[in-house]
């Protein structure tokens, strides 16, 4: 097992071209949101923008669109069409798609997320309620024609059929191999496992990140790095380090008690700067 360190992450950070434009650095999309869960897609979208994405779209149900749109700064919110095929058409040219932040329990939205997961040929990051939507249809992960990253915490991992009995490292490795997806098993010392057996353990982060919404920030960072062309295993590894380091920087300033998801989003550039120095 390899430790995810600053030295490793310096090598993994996508290079930027001085003559690049917004289309150069990835077009990505977040699909999620529901009544009572309007923060999650915002955190994910803004995190993707802070990590370097050129274009970030945030698709949410029409009833929460005005709330989400008012909170988006660097990302662009839009109301999701009711027809799943229309949503799919809008996502076709995206470099990566994140499904799940704040998706909630609406049957229609969960069904849409599941259908998109099954049919999209883009790389997909599956997070939060997107994981819950897929739990009863777990074979969709193995059957996908495009690469996938799943980002469960321990409870969500169990819902997906993961078994933590042999320990977190072995559990993540088995799941990644069986389902054919990069697995980010969140928690202290987050584990990143690839389908080919590679395993990495994160070295950043603390209980400052133990707050609702910080997982959505992580998902947005993973999304952005994939959209910028990083290999999925490397993108997930770099993302957990950046997310954890951003949390560490926030803790120094605000204490572990006072860190919010917005703080973590704002600290992502400072974490990236450490890798550039």
Q: How many domains does the chain have?
A: 1
> Could you give the CA distance from residue 218 to residue 184 in angstroms, rounded to a whole number?
10
Task: Name the DSSP letter for residue 178.
Answer: H
68 within 8 A of 81, measured Cβ to Cβ: no
Q: Is the backbone of residue 224 left (phi > 0), alpha (psi -120 to 50) or beta?
A: alpha
Residue 197 burial by Cβ neighbours in a 10 Å radius (0-12, 13-18, 19+): exposed
For 117, the enclosing helix (H) or strand (E) is helix 107-119
Task: For the chain, give the percent of residues with pLDDT over 70.
Answer: 100
76-79, strands of its sheet edge to edge: 2-4, 199-202, 191-193, 182-185, 148-150, 124-126, 96-99, 27-31, 55-60, 76-79
Tens of pLDDT along 82-135? 899 999 999 999 999 999 999 998 899 999 999 999 999 999 999 999 999 999
For residue 67, count other CB atoms closer than 10 A to its CB. Answer: 15
Number of residues in the chain = 277
pLDDT at 47: 98
| pLDDT < 50 positions in the chain | none
Listed in sequence order, the residues at least 6 apart from 256 whose beta carbon sits closer than 8 Å to its beta carbon are 206, 207, 208
pLDDT at 217: 98
CA atoms within 13 A on the CB side of 37: 21
pLDDT at 136: 86
pTM of the model: 0.98
> Which domain range does residue 100 map to?
2-276
Which CATH number covers residue 72? 3.40.1190.20
């Amino acid at each position: 097992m390899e430790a995810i360190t600053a030295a490793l992450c310096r090598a993994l950070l996508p290079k930027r071209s001085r003559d690049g434009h917004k289309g150069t650095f990835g077009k990505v999309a977040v699909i999620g949101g529901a009544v009572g869960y309007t923060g999650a897609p915002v955190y994910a979208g803004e995190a993707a923008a802070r990590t370097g994405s050129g274009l970030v779209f945030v698709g949410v149900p029409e009833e929460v669109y005005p709330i989400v749109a008012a909170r988006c700064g660097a990302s662009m919110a839009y109301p999701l069409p009711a027809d799943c095929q229309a949503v799919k058409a809008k996502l076709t040219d995206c470099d990566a798609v994140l499904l799940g932040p704040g998706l909630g329990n609406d049957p229609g939205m969960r069904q849409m997320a599941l259908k998109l997961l099954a049919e999209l040929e883009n790389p997909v990051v599956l997070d939060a309620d997107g994981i819950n939507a897929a739990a009863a249809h777990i074979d969709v992960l193995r059957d996908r024609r495009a690469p996938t990253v799943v980002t469960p915490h321990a409870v969500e991992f169990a819902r997906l059929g993961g078994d933590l009995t042999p320990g977190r490292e072995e559990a993540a490795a088995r799941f990644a191999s069986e389902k054919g997806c990069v697995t980010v098993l969140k928690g202290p010392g987050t584990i990143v496992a690839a389908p080919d057996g590679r395993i990495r353990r994160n070295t950043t982060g603390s209980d400052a990140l133990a707050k609702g919404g910080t997982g959505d920030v992580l998902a947005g960072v993973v999304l952005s790095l994939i959209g910028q062309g990083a290999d999925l295993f490397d993108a997930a590894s770099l993302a957990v380090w950046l997310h954890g380091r951003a949390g560490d920087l926030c803790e120094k300033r605000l204490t572990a008690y006072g860190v919010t998801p917005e703080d973590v989003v704002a600290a992502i550039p400072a974490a990236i700067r450490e890798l550039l120095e």
